[in-house]
Amino acid sequence: MSLSAPDLEDPQDTYTLNMGPQHPSTHGVLRLKLTLRGERVIAVEPVIGYSHRAHEKMAETRTYAQFLPNTSRQDYLSGLIYNLAWVEAVEKLASIPVPERALVARVILAEFNRISSHLLWVGAFLADLGAVTPFLYTFDDREAIVGLLETVTGSRLTYCTGRFGGLSKDLDADFPRRAREVLVRLRARWPELEGLIEDNVIFRQRTMGVGVMTEEQCRHWGVTGPVLRASGVPYDVRKMEPYGAYPRYAFTIPTRPEGDVFARYMVRIAEMEQSCRIIEQALDGLPEGPILQEGSIGVKKRLKPPAGTLYYAVESARGAYGIVLTSEGGTEPYRAKFRTPSYANLAALQDMMPGSMVADAVAILGSLDVVMPEIDR
């Protein structure tokens, strides 16, 4: 038996390779149908829907408060941001005031959640590329954040601390000190990560010039978040459509012009430092006062927002998360649609991956930081 080299001119000389649905680098149940010619990817079709949980249908069959635990289970890595987004959307629809202290505390918690999500990504992504050591460092740091958030929210992964009109629990008197300790620890780590990962020649060769996306391609697919910013577009919902207490804080939107896997890594690393800056300013200006609006609806009483449709957007760790919420004046939402960032980012793989080598497929997929339950909802 002899093996012959593939005929690169022959359009028929292709074969199909299934990656997933059970594959360690898909981080969830995702199947990629790769069409290959030799070792080159010529087409990819992401097949999704393996973990569809019908969140949108559930939202129509329970009250606004009863839906709260569902929110953080869409994106379990930045669940707090999703939880607060739902709370803020309902507050806006029902015109519920929020005390100052809660607004600032939400920013602190959400930014810590963003850093923990990015840290997990750095570890898992490097493990995808074959480097196990960074995983140990980033999980060590992530543990410090998760432990800190646990003292406020009582949860470590699927947070449900948002309440209509504030938060379920106040930050204790010692919280700012512990939070600053975590910031010091994180900032001591950035140079270490730089030496360990960024300056590593193997990492650079695996990531530079791989999976390049242009701004126009991003627009075609509606890409947002770090993937878009790595293509040189300074789009961040926190700046373009400021919400909560974000307009008060000075921070920049890190971008990179290359549009490749390396750029996506660098953008996320730079974003973690910006989150630290935001947390620091928020801790400095943390006002005293109630954490939950007095006489607030809380979760016990029935909430009936006036009829209308609302589009509410926040910046999650993965990009622009949008909630389209329609009320018909009842106790349950009439319709809730979740525009999730990974959905568009994963679809963009169809433009990002063709032309690359099959060995780079894992690096390109990993660079998107997809969370499957958020895509399948």
Q: Which amino acid is at 246?
A: Y
Of the candidate residues 49, 69, 285, 355, the single one contacting other proteins (CB under 8 A): 49
Residue 230 interacts with other proteins (CB under 8 A)?
no
Q: Smallest distance from the beta carbon of 220 to other proteins, in angstroms? A: 5
Could you tell me which stretch among 45-53, 175-183, 184-192, 355-363 binds other proteins (CB under 8 A)?
45-53
Residue 67 interacts with other proteins (CB under 8 A)?
no
Q: Which residue has the tokens 């074969």?
A: 15
Q: Which of 186, 176, 158 is nearest to 83 (CA)?
A: 158
Determine contact, residues 226/267, Cβ cutoff 8 Å.
yes
Residue 35 interacts with other proteins (CB under 8 A)?
no
Residue 372 interacts with other proteins (CB under 8 A)?
no
Q: Smallest distance from the beta carbon of 61 to other proteins, in angstroms? A: 11
Of the candidate residues 42, 43, 253, 324, the single one contacting other proteins (CB under 8 A): 324
Long-range contacts of 297-301 (CB under 8 A, 24+ apart): 297/65, 297/94, 297/96, 297/164, 297/165, 298/65, 298/163, 298/164, 298/165, 299/65, 299/68, 299/163, 299/164, 300/65
Residue 64 interacts with other proteins (CB under 8 A)?
no
Residue 313 interacts with other proteins (CB under 8 A)?
yes
Of the candidate residues 309, 329, 330, 355, the single one contacting other proteins (CB under 8 A): 309
Determine contact, residues 107/249, Cβ cutoff 8 Å.
yes
CA Rg value for the chain:
22
Q: How far is CA 164 from CA 8, 68, 72, 73, 172, in A?
A: 60, 10, 15, 19, 20
Q: Smallest distance from the beta carbon of 27 to other proteins, in angstroms? A: 18
Residue 248 interacts with other proteins (CB under 8 A)?
no
Closest CB to other proteins among 121 and 221?
221
Q: Which of 60, 62, 61, 114 is nearest to 85 (CA)?
A: 114
Of the candidate residues 170, 241, 258, 273, the single one contacting other proteins (CB under 8 A): 241
Contacts of 357 (CB under 8 A, 6+ apart): 39, 40, 41
Under the rule (CB under 8 A), what is the footprint of other proteins? 48-49, 52, 54, 56-57, 60, 92-93, 215, 218-222, 228, 233, 235, 239-242, 307-313, 320, 322, 324, 326, 334-335, 337, 339, 343-344, 347-348, 350-351, 376-377
